[in-house]
């Protein structure tokens, strides 16, 4: 898609996602850098905020919109109910056929045990 300056940028979502990321990473840095250079890690974390927001805004202007967890959940529910309505059975009732036996699965005429050594 082409750049469109009229497309909305989900600023609240971008800021919320970055704050969650920053909080988790700050906790990880506190655990792993308790003896070393914690200041450099925290400065890097703070610099990542504006970069994340800028990159997210550019992607939004190009038309990229990531789906929310709610949208993904409803799509999955629609797929399972749609499959159940079309076939008359639930998607979990469908069983896969067993693959044909092979030499490695011990169903192909030989056992998996190594042969006895001849003396």
* 46 contacts: CB under 8 Å, gap ≥ 6: 22
Model confidence pLDDT, tens digit, residues 41-60? 899 999 999 999 999 999 99
Residue 48 lies in a domain: yes
Q: Is residue 55 part of a domain?
A: yes
Q: C-alpha dihedral over 76, 62, 49, 30, to 10 degrees?
A: 40
In terms of residue numbers, what domain contains 59?
A: 11-69
Q: The whole model's pTM is what?
A: 0.60
Q: How many domains, the chain?
A: 1
In a domain, residue 50? The reply is: yes
Q: What mean pLDDT is reported for the chain?
A: 84
Residue 73 pLDDT grade (very low, low, confident, very high; cuts 50, 70, 90): very high
> Do the domain assignments include residue 24?
yes
Residue 100 lies in a domain: no
Q: Note whether residue 91 is domain-resident.
A: no
């Amino acid at each position: 898609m082409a750049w469109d300056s009229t497309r909305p940028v989900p600023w609240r979502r971008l800021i919320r996602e970055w704050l969650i990321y920053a909080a988790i990473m700050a906790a990880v840095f506190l655990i792993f850098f308790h003896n070393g250079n914690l200041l450099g890690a925290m400065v890097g974390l703070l610099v990542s905020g504006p970069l994340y927001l800028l990159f997210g805004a550019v992607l939004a202007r190009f038309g990229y919109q990531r789906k929310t967890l709610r949208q993904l959940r409803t799509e999955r529910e629609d797929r399972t109910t749609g499959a159940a309505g079309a076939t008359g059975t639930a998607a979990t009732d469908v069983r896969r056929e067993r693959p044909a036996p092979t030499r490695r699965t011990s169903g192909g005429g030989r056992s998996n045990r190594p042969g006895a050594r001849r003396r």
